[in-house]
Structure 1
Amino acid sequence: MGRGEREAVARGTRLYEAARNVVADHDGAVAAVRAALTPIHDAAVRRELDAIPVTRLQDVTEGRLRLGGVEQSGLRTVGDVLDAGPYRLRQIPGVGQRTVDQMLAAARRLSDAVHETVAVHLDVDRPDPGTTALVRALHVLVEAGPEARRAVDRAAALAERLCPLQAAAGPAAGRFRMLLAGREKKARARAAVTELRSLLDEAERAELPGLFAQASVDLLRGPSSDLAAWADFELRSADYYGLLAEISGRAPDTAAAEGFLPDEIAERVRTQHLDDTHRRVSLRGYQAFGARFALAQRKVVLGDEMGLGKTIQAIAVLAHLAAEGQSHFMVVCPASVLVNWTREVEARSALRVLLLHGPDRHDAFADWKGRGGVAVTTFDALRGFPAPGGGEVGLFVVDEAHTVKNPKAKRSQAVARWAEYCERALFMTGTPMENRVAEFRNLVGMLDDGIAKALADGDALAGSVAFRKAVAPVYLRRNQQDVLTELPSLQRTDEWEELSASDEEAYREAVRSGNFMAMRRAGYARPEGSAKLERLREIVEEAAENGQKTVVFSYFKDVLQVVRDALAEAPPDALADGTAVFGPLTGAVPAARRQRTVDDYAAAPGPAVLLAQIQAAGVGLNLQAASVVVICEPQLKPTVEHQAVARAHRMGQVRPVRVHRLLATGGVDERLVRMLERKTRLFDAYARRSAVAEATPDAVDVSDADLARRIVEEEQARLGVPAAWAATAE
């Protein structure tokens, strides 16, 4: 053997060491998280045990213990009993060894249960050295992202293949070693070198050396400061909590995360492979299961409660099918979420996405037919496209699928026709369908006619377990309270909407007049065609379907009145589904009356909507009854938005808070968001934590007049609109 063989062995050694280093770097990052988490978790467990009265030990032992003497001795909680230990417990009058053994066994059972269930919550407003260390450790893994995780997985697999080859090829590493080796060892070395070269070539083609090097750099790079880590945590808290749940092993209840599916279906779903090659986002366990469910069952309804990431699960399915060689996908959704879909697919995957909307939609459809990708269109536009041939479309996705429950509607008929010709279909709806069997049967009928015909009206009456068993082959639904136990209580979503024709006309008039404030509220100037108002209605209706309360914020009184008129139907103060509407709260409403309105809103049974001017309700009121927040337009001062959201996202809130900010593409909203985002994350985080900023938010924000004038002038230039008069911020 000559120089070529020695070089191959040397290259194999370098690649093997790089692979092992990546795995070791990842293991080190995970170990750092565990080391930081342990004292925080132990302290949380201790607080829980100190809050459990000693009488609970009777429940664990089914009333067999007599604890009067124990309480009289000063041991009030389960934590006290564990601290006391057997010696002190035996000193209590009337307590014998058998009672001591039973008491400690019961206390340890409760302690074990608390260890398994207690969740660590990170308070961004009150960081301490312990939680800061945990956030810094998590930051390394979050910042490294799913690419590093993929690199680690590939490194582990490669190292496993390289290890025996390197050992067998060892004699070829040196001339004298080869001379001294026996015939059998030489033969094994030659064969190993041949296989090693093939493996090295394969690794080079996959660019694994570069991938491993970058992953190691990312896994060893920490945040620049504590403040940087906390600022990133605030922006991407779901990623941090997802990693925390995975590393701690305190995941949601498996049965709940799997939608209480029958064992045979759940097992088939668990064994379904999920390829992440084209995906750019990590999945939580229940999300990965949802994607596998869609793949294993082929035609399904994903009915997860709003806020659980149905779109991400759909993108995971698209990415997997693309990795298998599928090239054409179709997504149909309401016009109000078209932009969100295109942005999510672009941000969360490497897939090509095309918008089939507007006057050029047929040209875009032809482009999609020829080149493939993820086509995103509306229900109305879908009716104008020819149904696909068999096997042509890898996945047909229908968002807000409950809107096609009426089989007589033309949009429903178009969806049914596409679903029939597609081998795979994924219907998504956050609206609970369990008690609407007739409507649900119509949806299921588009996917599996046999199950639909077998679904009787009495199945829902028999209880959710019976209903889910009947529809299990095609239906998966999970609730927030079952699967989001480790997530923070705040999730933000920017809802990007395309202006309708009437919106665009109103916006141009505002730009022409140079009226900045009119530009900001142009999306509501003509309610009958308002894209923002349509999306707001959908959010409120879906929250109502899930029994949740909503608060709607706007800077403008007239916008709130438009929203009220749109929501308030007969009777005057209620939606058709019984959702009460309160407000609007404005600066003109006396403080005492504002609080009474909030109290009435909180006390209202079932879903309700509170309308509030953001300056008036953003400070001083507790709105923790709300779990859905809608901000009608971006605010000039980020602190105003943060303070308003904080009214709902505060102690006493028992459900995750979802914040939807309604934004219009291509105009003042987009420019405002972009300009305000230019401020660094660190300054933004610092300002929001500053006592001065809390008291006087105006002190840390950009000049309203300068910002307004600049945006008006840029919009006039972009639209080619001659100014009627000078730009004004009024």
Structure 2
Amino acid sequence: MKTYGFLALDRSRREWCLTQLEPHVAIAFKRLFPRVPVTATEIRMSDADDVRADLDWFMHRYPLAHDEHEAIGEALARIAATIAERDRILLPDWSPPDMVAFRPGYAPYLYQSQAAQVALRNPGLLLGDDVGLGKTISAIAACAMGAPLPAAVVVQAHLAQQWADRIEEFTTLRTHVIKGTTPYSLPPADIYIFRYSNIAGWVNVIAQNTFKTVIYDEMQELRHGRGTNKGNACYTASRAAQLRLGLTATPIYNYGDEIWNVMDFIQPDLLGRPDEFAREWCNGKIVKNPDGLGSYLRDKGFFLRRAEDDETVAQAMPPPNIIDWEVDFDQSAADDEAALTRMLAQTVLTGNFVEAGRAARELDLKMRQITGIAKARSVAAYVRLLLKDAPRVLLTGWHREVYAIWQHELAEFAPVLYTGSETAVAKGRSVDAFTTGDSRVMMISLRSGIGLDGLQHHCQDVVFGELDWSPQVHYQIIGRLRRPGQRHQVTAHYLHTNGGSDPVLLETLGIKTDQSRGILQPGQDAAERFCDDSRIKRLAAHILAETEARAA
């Protein structure tokens, strides 16, 4: 049989090396494998099962002389077996095995058991389920269903005790929350809970293969990769672990290239070396084809994401009920700031680059504050009406001046605050008062509460008294209530007004998206994209038009 070159596996460097390719074959190879530099004379590719499968596919057309038939055959068999098993587990009629570690009366939903089983079949899995679908319970289920123990869970600082409480509430597994950055003799436990802020101090303990499973909660914390202290410690944990599980609904915060760093902790070499990934998938930091990359990660079995309309999810929890309600705009509350906002709006549209940029930021902040104040009493009246029927209401805001009005108007319901200004202890007291105390209203900052759990047992209504530019922020807040343990349909009340910044902001919320959409939801149409500059200029034009209309 004619061959067109030579193929060898360098096991010490974990690389495939292709040499002496005939010129037209080298051109074809580089065209089909974009991760290979077009100028390379000796082609090298990092080793992974999918690379072995691709090489086998290529050699059906252009045979290469090699002695690695067994290695390639083993990879093909592993890939086929993994796909078949994953497809079987994800069938709606799949039945999970018994989990003796779960306490009587507690059990994961079917889709959570499925995620746990997929993770157990993989050396690594990034679970990107939508907000509110209970990724924590999926991870706990993996530990209860056979993940090698002890396990290390790495969480954001304010979530450590919540994780311990949830594990011990659902299961008989023992937990220990790591205290501080100085290592000490660890007590016996099944699951040890680290904070991203203290794990770097334990890197020497981690390097001793102490933890057989590692779970990363809110894994976007590692999007900057191994270069940080926490990244280095977590990568050490990943290398030592037999099972690696990442949890996040938002792995991409900025540019798509962050996914390489995230997946590096889950399955090294899955996306090749950084230079290979950059050549194959990116233009600079931007992923050229997010849909293609998202589909690729799913196909390889290292990324699993279910949305609220997934069949097995819909069987467990109904979709949220969304209500849009227009409330009154108190013009008298906004008039005091009218001259300032007109000046800022004029500068945005006519000033130089520096002046316009500064004015745009001030205009955004000022108009959202004025809008919040102008509708604050109407929002409070709406909440008061809800509380005639609802036991508690989660009320979202952003500005301290707005919170102050709400506190006064809703004083009879003992409102509490959960914002960026409170300490962790104060936030804990607010949650306790809202869930088991006298408070019937918790005012939560739009960008607070990531990972907050437990509210779903006591509340089913969230009122958006102020709005954010990002729809994902609202979605995160809804997910504080629509999550496992919620026995009712969650209702989200969007209270907007026909004045101030709300009209422009509402329009933007309907069309705004970012690059993570393609990676998370490949194949779904992207909405039109608007940059911040367009958004602020439209807001400025809207303000001037309103002013002229009132003056006419």
User: Which bracket does the TM-score occupy, shorter chain normalised?
Assistant: 0.3 to 0.5
Using structure 2 for the length normalisation, give the TM-score: 0.44
Q: Over alpha carbons, which structure has the higher Rg?
A: 1
- Which one scores higher on RCO, CA 8 angstroms, separation ≥ 6? 2
TM-score (norm 1): 0.34
